[in-house]
Chain A
Amino acid sequence: MALFDDVRNIIVEQLHVPPEKVMMEAKFIEDLGADSLDTVELIMAFEEKFDLQISEEEAQKLDTVGKAVSYLEGKVTT
Protein backbone atom coordinates (compact mmCIF):
# COMPACT_ATOMS: atom_id res chain seq x y z
CA MET A 1 0.00 0.00 0.00
CA ALA A 2 1.56 3.24 -1.20
CA LEU A 3 0.71 5.38 1.79
CA PHE A 4 2.17 2.89 4.26
CA ASP A 5 5.35 2.73 2.17
CA ASP A 6 5.65 6.50 2.24
CA VAL A 7 5.10 6.58 5.99
CA ARG A 8 7.59 3.80 6.53
CA ASN A 9 10.23 5.57 4.43
CA ILE A 10 9.81 8.73 6.46
CA ILE A 11 10.13 6.80 9.72
CA VAL A 12 13.21 4.88 8.52
CA GLU A 13 14.89 8.10 7.46
CA GLN A 14 14.01 10.01 10.57
CA LEU A 15 14.60 7.38 13.23
CA HIS A 16 17.39 5.43 11.50
CA VAL A 17 15.67 2.10 12.07
CA PRO A 18 15.54 -0.85 9.65
CA PRO A 19 12.29 -1.05 7.62
CA GLU A 20 11.42 -4.43 9.18
CA LYS A 21 11.00 -2.78 12.57
CA VAL A 22 8.36 -0.40 11.28
CA MET A 23 5.29 -2.46 12.10
CA MET A 24 1.81 -1.13 12.69
CA GLU A 25 1.93 -1.85 16.43
CA ALA A 26 5.36 -0.26 16.91
CA LYS A 27 5.41 2.70 19.28
CA PHE A 28 7.61 5.53 18.10
CA ILE A 29 9.19 6.22 21.48
CA GLU A 30 9.26 2.86 23.26
CA ASP A 31 9.90 0.60 20.25
CA LEU A 32 11.59 2.75 17.64
CA GLY A 33 13.77 4.86 19.92
CA ALA A 34 12.32 8.26 19.09
CA ASP A 35 13.02 11.17 21.42
CA SER A 36 10.69 14.15 21.80
CA LEU A 37 12.31 16.09 18.96
CA ASP A 38 12.03 13.04 16.71
CA THR A 39 8.28 12.87 17.25
CA VAL A 40 7.93 16.55 16.31
CA GLU A 41 10.10 16.06 13.24
CA LEU A 42 8.06 13.04 12.19
CA ILE A 43 4.86 15.06 12.35
CA MET A 44 6.50 17.83 10.34
CA ALA A 45 7.70 15.31 7.76
CA PHE A 46 4.18 13.84 7.43
CA GLU A 47 2.78 17.36 7.05
CA GLU A 48 5.28 18.12 4.30
CA LYS A 49 4.87 14.83 2.46
CA PHE A 50 1.09 14.75 2.48
CA ASP A 51 0.60 18.52 2.30
CA LEU A 52 -1.54 18.93 5.38
CA GLN A 53 -1.52 20.51 8.83
CA ILE A 54 -1.68 18.33 11.91
CA SER A 55 -2.78 20.13 15.08
CA GLU A 56 -0.95 19.73 18.36
CA GLU A 57 -3.91 17.83 19.82
CA GLU A 58 -4.06 15.36 16.96
CA ALA A 59 -0.27 14.97 16.88
CA GLN A 60 -0.23 13.91 20.54
CA LYS A 61 -2.45 10.91 19.75
CA LEU A 62 -0.20 9.54 17.00
CA ASP A 63 2.09 7.46 19.19
CA THR A 64 2.26 4.32 17.05
CA VAL A 65 2.96 3.63 13.39
CA GLY A 66 -0.58 2.23 13.00
CA LYS A 67 -2.24 5.34 14.45
CA ALA A 68 -0.21 7.59 12.16
CA VAL A 69 -1.10 5.48 9.11
CA SER A 70 -4.84 5.42 9.98
CA TYR A 71 -4.86 9.14 10.61
CA LEU A 72 -3.12 9.94 7.34
CA GLU A 73 -5.33 7.52 5.39
CA GLY A 74 -8.34 9.38 6.74
CA LYS A 75 -6.96 12.78 5.79
CA VAL A 76 -5.49 11.93 2.41
CA THR A 77 -8.42 10.10 0.86
CA THR A 78 -11.08 12.66 1.86
Chain B
Amino acid sequence: MLLNGNVALVTGGASGIGEGIAHRLIKEGAKVEIGDVDEKTGEVTARTLGENARFVKLDISAEDQVNDIVAQIFNEHARIDILINNAGITNDKLLLRMAKEDWQRVIDINLTGTFLVTRAVMKHMIKQRYGRIINIASVVGLIGNPGQTNYSASKAGIIGFTKACAKELAGRNITVNAIAPGFIETRMTDNLTDEVKEQYKQAIPVKRFGTVDDVAALTVFLSSADASYITGQVICVDGGMVM
Protein backbone atom coordinates (compact mmCIF):
# COMPACT_ATOMS: atom_id res chain seq x y z
CA MET B 1 0.00 0.00 0.00
CA LEU B 2 1.50 3.29 -1.12
CA LEU B 3 0.05 5.57 1.54
CA ASN B 4 0.07 3.53 4.72
CA GLY B 5 -0.51 5.67 7.77
CA ASN B 6 -0.87 8.90 5.80
CA VAL B 7 -3.56 11.37 6.78
CA ALA B 8 -5.39 13.10 3.95
CA LEU B 9 -7.95 15.85 3.63
CA VAL B 10 -10.05 15.75 0.46
CA THR B 11 -12.23 18.81 -0.05
CA GLY B 12 -15.38 18.18 -2.03
CA GLY B 13 -14.89 14.53 -1.24
CA ALA B 14 -18.55 13.61 -0.84
CA SER B 15 -19.12 12.91 -4.52
CA GLY B 16 -17.64 12.95 -8.00
CA ILE B 17 -13.89 13.13 -8.48
CA GLY B 18 -13.35 13.83 -4.78
CA GLU B 19 -15.17 10.68 -3.76
CA GLY B 20 -13.18 8.66 -6.29
CA ILE B 21 -9.96 10.08 -4.89
CA ALA B 22 -10.99 9.37 -1.30
CA HIS B 23 -11.80 5.80 -2.29
CA ARG B 24 -8.36 5.20 -3.82
CA LEU B 25 -6.47 6.93 -1.00
CA ILE B 26 -8.16 4.63 1.51
CA LYS B 27 -7.39 1.61 -0.64
CA GLU B 28 -3.73 2.59 -0.41
CA GLY B 29 -3.85 2.75 3.37
CA ALA B 30 -4.53 6.41 4.09
CA LYS B 31 -6.92 7.82 6.67
CA VAL B 32 -9.15 10.29 4.86
CA GLU B 33 -11.10 13.27 6.11
CA ILE B 34 -13.85 14.09 3.64
CA GLY B 35 -14.68 17.78 3.75
CA ASP B 36 -17.81 18.89 1.95
CA VAL B 37 -20.80 21.22 2.23
CA ASP B 38 -23.14 18.34 1.33
CA GLU B 39 -23.63 16.74 4.72
CA LYS B 40 -26.14 14.12 3.64
CA THR B 41 -24.07 12.73 0.79
CA GLY B 42 -20.85 13.12 2.73
CA GLU B 43 -22.02 11.03 5.68
CA VAL B 44 -23.15 8.26 3.34
CA THR B 45 -19.87 8.35 1.44
CA ALA B 46 -17.81 8.17 4.64
CA ARG B 47 -19.88 5.26 5.91
CA THR B 48 -19.45 3.42 2.62
CA LEU B 49 -15.70 3.96 2.65
CA GLY B 50 -15.33 2.42 6.08
CA GLU B 51 -13.53 3.12 9.32
CA ASN B 52 -10.64 5.04 7.78
CA ALA B 53 -12.96 7.69 6.35
CA ARG B 54 -14.62 10.46 8.26
CA PHE B 55 -16.93 13.19 7.05
CA VAL B 56 -16.53 16.75 8.22
CA LYS B 57 -18.79 19.59 7.13
CA LEU B 58 -16.60 22.16 5.42
CA ASP B 59 -17.35 25.25 3.36
CA ILE B 60 -13.95 26.11 1.97
CA SER B 61 -14.92 29.73 1.27
CA ALA B 62 -15.49 30.41 4.98
CA GLU B 63 -12.13 31.41 6.45
CA ASP B 64 -12.89 30.78 10.14
CA GLN B 65 -14.50 27.45 9.41
CA VAL B 66 -11.52 26.34 7.33
CA ASN B 67 -9.07 27.25 10.10
CA ASP B 68 -11.18 25.53 12.76
CA ILE B 69 -11.72 22.34 10.81
CA VAL B 70 -8.06 22.01 9.80
CA ALA B 71 -7.03 22.55 13.44
CA GLN B 72 -9.54 19.90 14.46
CA ILE B 73 -8.19 17.42 11.92
CA PHE B 74 -4.63 18.06 13.05
CA ASN B 75 -5.60 17.59 16.69
CA GLU B 76 -7.29 14.31 15.86
CA HIS B 77 -4.45 12.80 13.82
CA ALA B 78 -1.34 14.75 14.93
CA ARG B 79 -0.40 15.19 11.28
CA ILE B 80 -1.74 16.04 7.82
CA ASP B 81 0.25 14.50 4.98
CA ILE B 82 -1.95 14.94 1.95
CA LEU B 83 -4.24 17.76 0.86
CA ILE B 84 -6.47 17.33 -2.16
CA ASN B 85 -8.01 20.67 -3.11
CA ASN B 86 -10.86 19.29 -5.15
CA ALA B 87 -13.98 21.20 -4.04
CA GLY B 88 -15.37 23.42 -6.75
CA ILE B 89 -18.52 24.60 -8.45
CA THR B 90 -19.58 25.75 -11.87
CA ASN B 91 -22.00 28.53 -12.70
CA ASP B 92 -22.04 28.55 -16.47
CA LYS B 93 -23.22 31.62 -18.36
CA LEU B 94 -22.06 33.55 -21.37
CA LEU B 95 -19.97 36.47 -20.18
CA LEU B 96 -22.47 39.09 -21.42
CA ARG B 97 -25.11 37.55 -19.19
CA MET B 98 -22.87 36.91 -16.22
CA ALA B 99 -23.66 38.99 -13.15
CA LYS B 100 -20.82 39.89 -10.83
CA GLU B 101 -22.23 37.51 -8.18
CA ASP B 102 -22.13 34.61 -10.68
CA TRP B 103 -18.46 35.40 -11.31
CA GLN B 104 -17.50 36.07 -7.70
CA ARG B 105 -19.06 32.96 -6.20
CA VAL B 106 -17.08 30.66 -8.47
CA ILE B 107 -13.86 32.55 -7.72
CA ASP B 108 -14.59 32.59 -3.98
CA ILE B 109 -15.13 28.87 -3.75
CA ASN B 110 -12.82 27.44 -6.40
CA LEU B 111 -9.83 29.75 -6.06
CA THR B 112 -10.06 31.54 -2.74
CA GLY B 113 -11.26 28.35 -1.07
CA THR B 114 -8.17 26.56 -2.35
CA PHE B 115 -6.02 29.38 -0.98
CA LEU B 116 -7.69 29.27 2.45
CA VAL B 117 -7.42 25.52 2.92
CA THR B 118 -3.85 25.36 1.61
CA ARG B 119 -2.73 28.15 3.91
CA ALA B 120 -4.23 26.39 6.95
CA VAL B 121 -2.79 22.97 6.11
CA MET B 122 0.67 24.05 4.98
CA LYS B 123 1.51 25.36 8.44
CA HIS B 124 1.45 21.76 9.68
CA MET B 125 3.21 20.36 6.63
CA ILE B 126 6.03 22.87 7.08
CA LYS B 127 6.56 21.73 10.68
CA GLN B 128 6.39 18.10 9.58
CA ARG B 129 8.80 18.82 6.75
CA TYR B 130 6.59 16.64 4.61
CA GLY B 131 3.50 17.21 2.50
CA ARG B 132 1.74 16.46 -0.72
CA ILE B 133 -0.70 19.02 -2.08
CA ILE B 134 -2.69 18.22 -5.18
CA ASN B 135 -4.97 20.84 -6.67
CA ILE B 136 -7.69 19.68 -9.00
CA ALA B 137 -7.73 22.23 -11.82
CA SER B 138 -9.25 21.51 -15.25
CA VAL B 139 -8.25 21.50 -18.90
CA VAL B 140 -10.48 24.55 -19.30
CA GLY B 141 -8.02 26.39 -17.08
CA LEU B 142 -5.52 25.86 -19.90
CA ILE B 143 -7.68 26.22 -23.00
CA GLY B 144 -10.87 27.97 -21.88
CA ASN B 145 -14.45 27.05 -22.65
CA PRO B 146 -17.34 29.25 -23.81
CA GLY B 147 -19.84 29.78 -21.04
CA GLN B 148 -17.21 29.16 -18.40
CA THR B 149 -15.19 32.33 -18.17
CA ASN B 150 -15.60 32.25 -14.38
CA TYR B 151 -14.76 28.58 -14.01
CA SER B 152 -11.86 28.78 -16.48
CA ALA B 153 -10.44 31.80 -14.67
CA SER B 154 -10.70 30.04 -11.30
CA LYS B 155 -8.95 26.94 -12.64
CA ALA B 156 -6.24 28.96 -14.40
CA GLY B 157 -5.80 30.77 -11.10
CA ILE B 158 -5.35 27.44 -9.34
CA ILE B 159 -2.61 26.57 -11.83
CA GLY B 160 -0.66 29.76 -11.11
CA PHE B 161 -1.24 29.27 -7.38
CA THR B 162 0.08 25.72 -7.65
CA LYS B 163 3.35 26.83 -9.18
CA ALA B 164 3.97 29.65 -6.72
CA CYS B 165 3.20 27.37 -3.76
CA ALA B 166 5.47 24.70 -5.18
CA LYS B 167 8.35 27.18 -5.25
CA GLU B 168 7.64 28.40 -1.72
CA LEU B 169 7.39 24.96 -0.17
CA ALA B 170 9.95 22.93 -2.11
CA GLY B 171 12.59 23.43 0.57
CA ARG B 172 10.42 21.59 3.07
CA ASN B 173 9.82 18.35 1.14
CA ILE B 174 6.32 19.51 0.26
CA THR B 175 5.29 19.03 -3.36
CA VAL B 176 2.42 20.94 -4.94
CA ASN B 177 0.98 19.80 -8.24
CA ALA B 178 -2.17 20.34 -10.26
CA ILE B 179 -4.20 17.77 -12.11
CA ALA B 180 -6.22 19.06 -15.05
CA PRO B 181 -9.02 16.60 -15.71
CA GLY B 182 -10.69 16.66 -19.08
CA PHE B 183 -14.17 15.36 -19.58
CA ILE B 184 -14.84 13.10 -16.58
CA GLU B 185 -18.17 11.36 -16.07
CA THR B 186 -19.65 12.80 -12.88
CA ARG B 187 -22.71 14.73 -11.70
CA MET B 188 -21.07 17.91 -12.98
CA THR B 189 -20.98 16.58 -16.54
CA ASP B 190 -24.18 14.48 -16.43
CA ASN B 191 -26.29 17.48 -17.35
CA LEU B 192 -24.82 17.91 -20.81
CA THR B 193 -26.96 16.76 -23.74
CA ASP B 194 -26.05 13.62 -25.67
CA GLU B 195 -25.28 15.80 -28.69
CA VAL B 196 -22.75 17.87 -26.77
CA LYS B 197 -21.23 14.72 -25.28
CA GLU B 198 -20.73 13.24 -28.76
CA GLN B 199 -19.07 16.44 -29.92
CA TYR B 200 -16.65 16.26 -27.04
CA LYS B 201 -15.83 12.60 -27.72
CA GLN B 202 -14.73 13.51 -31.24
CA ALA B 203 -12.16 15.89 -29.78
CA ILE B 204 -10.69 13.21 -27.49
CA PRO B 205 -8.03 11.00 -29.10
CA VAL B 206 -8.80 7.97 -26.92
CA LYS B 207 -12.48 8.42 -27.87
CA ARG B 208 -13.93 7.91 -24.42
CA PHE B 209 -14.74 10.03 -21.43
CA GLY B 210 -12.67 9.73 -18.33
CA THR B 211 -13.70 8.12 -15.07
CA VAL B 212 -13.07 9.40 -11.57
CA ASP B 213 -10.68 6.50 -11.15
CA ASP B 214 -8.54 7.80 -14.03
CA VAL B 215 -8.00 10.96 -11.98
CA ALA B 216 -7.73 9.12 -8.66
CA ALA B 217 -4.96 6.85 -9.92
CA LEU B 218 -2.69 9.81 -10.70
CA THR B 219 -3.65 11.48 -7.41
CA VAL B 220 -2.48 8.44 -5.47
CA PHE B 221 0.90 8.47 -7.19
CA LEU B 222 1.42 12.21 -6.68
CA SER B 223 0.42 11.80 -3.02
CA SER B 224 3.06 9.16 -2.44
CA ALA B 225 6.65 9.46 -1.26
CA ASP B 226 7.67 8.15 -4.71
CA ALA B 227 6.64 11.46 -6.28
CA SER B 228 9.04 13.60 -4.26
CA TYR B 229 10.85 14.93 -7.36
CA ILE B 230 7.68 16.11 -9.06
CA THR B 231 6.44 19.55 -8.12
CA GLY B 232 4.85 22.61 -9.69
CA GLN B 233 3.48 20.49 -12.52
CA VAL B 234 0.12 20.54 -14.28
CA ILE B 235 -0.77 17.10 -15.56
CA CYS B 236 -3.76 16.63 -17.81
CA VAL B 237 -5.92 13.53 -17.38
CA ASP B 238 -7.99 14.03 -20.50
CA GLY B 239 -7.51 11.17 -22.94
CA GLY B 240 -5.18 13.36 -25.01
CA MET B 241 -7.66 16.20 -25.55
CA VAL B 242 -5.08 18.89 -24.79
CA MET B 243 -1.50 18.29 -25.82
A interface residues with partner B (beta carbon < 8 Å): 35-37, 41, 44
Contacts and interface: CB of A to CB of B under 8 A. Distances in A.
Interface residues of B, number: 7
Contacts, number: 10
Interface stretch (B37-45, B47-55, B166-174): B166-174
The 3 closest A-B pairs by CB, nearest first: A35-B171, A37-B171, A37-B172
B126 interface: yes
A35 B172 CA distance: 11
Q: Is the interface of A mostly helix, strand, loop or mixed?
A: helix
Contacts of B169: 37
Contacts of A37: 126, 168-169, 171-172
Contacts of B168: 36-37
A77 B104 CA distance: 46
Interface string B62-83: 0000000000000000000000
B127 to A, nearest CB: 8
Interface string B145-169: 0000000000000000000000011
Q: Which of A35, A37, A44 has the most CB of B within 10 A?
A: A37
A35 B171 CA distance: 9
Contacts of B127: 41
Nearest to A36: B168
Interface in B111-163: 123, 126-127
A43 to B, nearest CB: 12
10 contacts: A35-B171, A36-B168, A37-B126, A37-B168, A37-B169, A37-B171, A37-B172, A41-B126, A41-B127, A44-B123
A36 B167 CA distance: 11
B172 to A, nearest CB: 6
Contacts of A41: 126-127
